[in-house]
Amino acid sequence: MTQRDIGKPLFNVVLIIVSASVFVAASAFPDVNIPGDLSAAFFPKFLSGLIFILAIPCLIKDFQEWRKGGQAVSSSSISLVRGASQWLFVILLLIAYVYAFERLGYMISTALFTFSCVVGLTVLSGTWGTLSTAVKSKALAGALVFSVVLAVTIFYVFTDLFKIPLPT
Amino acid sequence: MKKLLGGFTLAIGCIVAGQAFAEYPTKNVDMIVPFSAGGGNDTFVRALQPLVEEQLDTTLVIRNIAGGGGAVGMSRAVASPADGYTLLAASNAMLTLEAMGTVPFTHDDFDFIAKLIEEPYLIAVSSESPYQDIESLVEAAQSGSVRVGASGVGSSAHIAANAIANRTESTFNLIPYPGGSEAMSAAMGGHVEAVVLGGAELRSALESGRLKALATTYAERSDSLPDVPTFQESGYDLTLTVWRGIAGPKGLPDEVKKEWVAAIQQIVEDGSYEQTANNLGTELAPLYGDELEAFIDESAATMREAAGDLAN
Amino acid sequence: MISGYLDGLGMVLQLSTLLAIAGGTLLGIVMGALPGLTSAMAIALLLPVTFGMPPVAGIGMLLGALCGAGASGSIPAILLNIPGTPSSVATTFDGFPMAQKGEAGRALGLAIVASFFGGVASMVILSLLAPPIAEFALRFGPAEYFSLSIFGLVIIASVAGKSLLKGLIAGMIGFLVSTIGTDPITGVGRFTFNELSLLTGVNLLPALIGLFAVSQVLKDTFEYDPNERLKESGHRIDIARPRFIETLKHWKAVMMGVISGSIVGPIPGAGGSIASLVAYDQTRRFSKTPEKFGTGHAPGIVSVESANNALLGGALIPTLALGIPGEAATAVLLGGLMIQGITPGPLLFADQSGTVYGIFLAYLLANVFMLLIMCLGIKLFIRVLMVPRKQLLAAILVFCFIGVYGVDGDVFNLYLMLGFGVLGYFLNRYNFGTAPVILGLILGPIAESNLRRGLQSFEGDWTPFFTRPISVAFLIVAIGLLALTLWQNYRSNQQSTPAGDDSV
């Protein structure tokens, strides 16, 4: 099942743009003269230049492959939407977790993160709608217990046993 | 009634406040080590940890906040509340960063509690080197270029090496290595003619006879290395020391300082730390209060001067 | 020497010493199995505890932590495709595919026994050959380090997966990322964006955990399908037991691991991270069935894991014989030795007091305890896979978070980890792969700084890179291996062109 993924050629475009801008940025490095040295900018320029050059054949190949792919394979579009939404959800949740980590402290942020992650995945994967009210509340309670127990256990293992301080 | 209540709260407030100070520390004390586990700064604090915990009757939580050559941990310490529950394992690195002009804080943003140990910078060569004293090395470096290794560009050892080159009017081809171990093995393997590093890092190499120290940056010869001449006695006006101690963000309560100074004085007096310090290649050189402040100011000025053309 | 060992034996065979070694090993195993926590942290944690102990007990405890953490890194690598340290990256190549076939227990059993053999062999090498190997390591100057890193970078070709070109790009991305931070020669800031945390460059651990763990979790969330529960119950617990005989059958792989661990491991600053990758690469090249590697092939696991514990003995060589620690863990260990009043150096090996033999025996015992504890735990480790998918994903993310935060206490590293996670997800999705990125990140700084340091100390002269014997030997081998890979690729492309399709 070949998925027709425009991202594959696009990723090469991103590489080309990023490497070009890295090259430009590296050209602006101040030049410190040390006898025999290649200068600070040498390797960043060399590498970004090489990535730029190598990404072009990849782009051409991936783009041709994408065009040959013909009609998008539609059989998996439901699971694709579900996958993408789950993926995006977890990334956004992770960003929120980092943001809250030192502000709310380890305990609250971790419990909230774990709880939302488990419940969120249940909802987004489509299982939620199929559950009866009783099962729903049971699932919620289970997720709650799991997240609190996980957060508390880790806290004590890390701070007491490993002496690794966590933000409170 | 209101007055009475006011007086009452005030009294309670006083008691609470009084108790809070009298009982410092009432909770764990965070000790920020601005380097990863395993460096000189980290070992210094970890060796001190059980002794301080006993004296202060609290738990010292060591937090390695590494990054930016110590800059991340130090700026975290500056930003912490000055309540005595977040302290910093301070060292020259702070003054080095200040001298290099890469960080937004200076030593004036800290309150220094105590200096505990010192070590010199040493210039050392391989035991098989043709240069067996500082004069012959300097002579070679004045007539041609001599390769000298040091740890990390912009590190205090790097600055010290630069200062040595300036004061002896030598040309060093100053080669920065990522750390002390790499620089030492380069010296042992003959890939550089000499290295400039702190005494603690060099200790085992010197004791095993693989490297030979030619000169120390101390003002006087040290007890642990009595055979190593100082730069001063060789006729070069150069005095630098690596020091390590305890500091906190500016505005530490006097009670906190008093408790800590008392604890450290006790540790120094009963000699429980001296052997450890010597084993680590450092020397106990305690300093507190105004003398300490003067010392820090002086060191900062020396570092700034030593950094010279390296600073940006 | 025999009397030395007898004296040493007397020091080791005391209940308190045995307990200290076992305790250190257990803590090492637990910390090594959690992503982000390293053996360096385990040793630093134990350091204050060892002060009051007699030298052999204290050092034995620290060695136990080193040994335990070295072996247990394989657990998350095999079960979850998450390497906790750079040296277990190669464990994922065959360990995880084997686990996916439902044979996680077999993979673990192989890894444990191979770790044990590697550790014991390296202890023997350490006790007999430390001084000459240390002398050899000293001959590594800038030219030799540069050529070694080039030799290491060629490994990219064999971990690149289907597209060599994309593997190369991924390696260069890693190399390019490694140039972030203060320039090692001139001190100029490169791509630091005025961020203090970036002054010393991108920290390896957040990058590693982002590229492997977070990207893997993101892939799993994308593919998470509540209707596909059945797959999870396919794990067979009954096969989870140590695999002595099967490991011995792959004795060539064990040898390869021990050799590369003992030769590459002692090179300060470079060896530890790449010894296991070198072992994997060489075992695969010398194998009669190289195409089986990467599909859950036993020699792949065995060579990597034996190298992983052999390199610890290797890393101890310069630490004990020269007082030069190669990386963080041995640096903390050196601190422990010095606090105990033990001075590393050639004299330590000539010392008649028996302390050094006690240390060797303690290290041997640490390996035995590691084997015992891991064997007892093996059925327990497998149960991780019984945790329901959603909960497992959330828990892995939390562990990654805290592990990375615990390294430096720097929230910036968490953002870095997330960034690398997303990058790693796309790199895997579009066939670039993440292993080359890590190779670039580890070897890039060694290649760059040593090339430039060499040019600086040879005053602009390039010829020493090609005239110094060790340096030129590495370069020739590197070029040979590269040519071989290109030839093999060309051949297999020719054969498979009719069915050729590199999309996954």
The pLDDT tens digits of the residues spanning B105-161 come to 999 999 999 999 999 999 999 999 999 999 999 999 998 889 999 988 888 899 999
Q: Is the pLDDT of residue B40 over 60?
A: yes
Q: Which DSSP category does C342 fall into? A: P
Taking only the tens place, the pLDDT of each residue in B264-312 is 999 999 888 998 888 888 999 999 999 999 999 999 998 888 887 777 6
C449:B39 CB<8 A: no
Instruction: Give the pLDDT of residue C368.
Output: 96
Q: Is the pLDDT of residue C338 over 60?
A: yes
Q: Give A36-78 as a 3 state SS string.
A: CCCCCCHHHHHHHHHHHHHHHHHHHHHHHHHHHCCCCCCCCHH
Higher pLDDT, C485 or C173: C173
Query: How many angstroms separate the CA atoms of C88 and C75, rounded?
Result: 9
Q: Is the pLDDT of residue B21 over 80?
A: no
Query: How many angstroms separate the CA atoms of B56 and B47, rounded?
Result: 15
Interface contacts (B, C; CB < 8 Å): 179
Query: How many angstroms separate the CA atoms of B176 and B147, rounded?
Result: 10
Summary mean pLDDT of chain C? 87
C-alpha distance from C417 to closest chain A C-alpha (Å): 10
Q: Is the pLDDT of residue C112 over 70?
A: yes
Instruction: Give the pLDDT of residue C469.
Output: 94
C-alpha distance from A165 to closest chain B C-alpha (Å): 7
Q: Is the pLDDT of residue C450 over 80?
A: yes
Q: Tell me, which fold does domain B2-118+241-310 have in CATH?
A: D-Maltodextrin-Binding Protein; domain 2 (3.40.190)
Instruction: Give the pLDDT of residue B218.
Output: 92
> Which tokens hold the place of B35?
């380097």
Res. C496 pLDDT band, cuts 50 70 90: low
Q: Give B9-49 as a 3 state SS string.
A: HHHHHHHHHHHHHHCCCCCCEEEEECCCCCCHHHHHHHHHH
B119: helix, coil or strand?
strand
Whether the CA torsion C315, C211, C36, B92 is positive or negative: it is positive
Res. C205 pLDDT band, cuts 50 70 90: confident
B148: helix, coil or strand?
strand
Segment among A80-84, A129-133, B7-11, C276-280 with least mean pLDDT: B7-11
Tell me which chains share at least 3 CB pairs under 8 Å with chain C.
A, B
Instruction: Give the pLDDT of residue B9.
Output: 47
Q: Which residues of C339-357 are buried (b: 16+ CB within 10 A; e: fewer)?
A: bbebbbbbebeeeeebbbb
Q: Is the pLDDT of residue B3 over 70?
A: no
Q: Is the pLDDT of residue A1 over 80?
A: no
Q: Which DSSP category does C210 fall into? A: I
Higher pLDDT, B68 or B257: B257
Q: Which DSSP category does C387 fall into? A: S
Which residues, 6+ apart, have CB-to-CB distance to B60 below 8 Å? B28, B29, B31, B45, B49, B52, B53
Query: How many angstroms separate the CA atoms of C78 and C108, rounded?
Result: 7
Compute CA distances B106 → B32, B96, B100, B300, C446, whole Å: 17, 10, 11, 9, 33
Closest CB to A154 among C226, C402, C421: C402
Q: Which DSSP category does B89 fall into? A: E
Q: Is the pLDDT of residue B4 over 80?
A: no
ipTM of the complex: 0.93
Instruction: Give the pLDDT of residue B131.
Output: 93
Q: Which residues pair with B151 in a beta bridge?
A: B177
Res. C228 pLDDT band, cuts 50 70 90: low
C391:A146 CB<8 A: yes
Summary mean pLDDT of chain B? 87
C-alpha distance from C472 to closest chain A C-alpha (Å): 21
Higher pLDDT, B133 or B11: B133
As a CATH number, domain B120-216 is 3.40.190.10
CB C91 within 8 A of CB C301: yes
Res. C226 pLDDT band, cuts 50 70 90: confident
Which residues, 6+ apart, have CB-to-CB distance to C358 below 8 Å? C7, C8, C9, C11, C12, C55, C56, C60
Residues in chain C within 8 Å Cβ distance of A125: 224-226
A154:C41 CB<8 A: no
Res. A71 pLDDT band, cuts 50 70 90: low
Taking only the tens place, the pLDDT of each residue in A11-38 is 999 999 999 999 999 999 988 878 888 8
Q: Does B280 touch chain C (CB under 8 A)?
A: yes
Q: Is the pLDDT of residue A149 over 90?
A: yes
Instruction: Give the pLDDT of residue A155.
Output: 92
CB B179 within 8 A of CB B259: no
Q: Is the pLDDT of residue C500 over 70?
A: no
Counted residue by residue, chain C has a size of 504
CB C146 within 8 A of CB C471: yes
Taking only the tens place, the pLDDT of each residue in B57-100 is 998 988 888 777 788 899 989 999 999 999 999 999 999 989 88
Q: Does B62 touch chain A (CB under 8 A)?
A: yes
CB B147 within 8 A of CB B175: yes
Instruction: Give the pLDDT of residue C234.
Output: 60
Taking only the tens place, the pLDDT of each residue in B170-214 is 999 999 988 888 899 899 999 999 999 999 889 888 988 889 999
Whether the CA torsion A82, A88, A92, A97 is positive or negative: it is positive
Residue B32 CB-half CA count within 13 A: 28
Res. C481 pLDDT band, cuts 50 70 90: confident
Q: What angle do CA C340, C344, C348 make, to 5 degrees?
A: 100
Q: Is the pLDDT of residue B7 over 50?
A: no
> Which tokens hold the place of C154?
């060629």
Mean pLDDT (whole number) for C216-244: 75
Query: How many angstroms separate the CA atoms of C474 and C278, rounded?
Result: 13
Whether the CA torsion B117, B122, B124, B127 is positive or negative: it is negative
Instruction: Give the pLDDT of residue A70.
Output: 57
Mean pLDDT (whole number) for A76-84: 78
Whether the CA torsion C109, C110, C116, C119 is positive or negative: it is negative
Residues in chain A within 8 Å Cβ distance of C398: 110, 113-114, 150-151, 154
Residues in chain C within 8 Å Cβ distance of B42: 44, 332, 335
Q: Does C335 touch chain B (CB under 8 A)?
A: yes
Instruction: Give the pLDDT of residue A81.
Output: 85
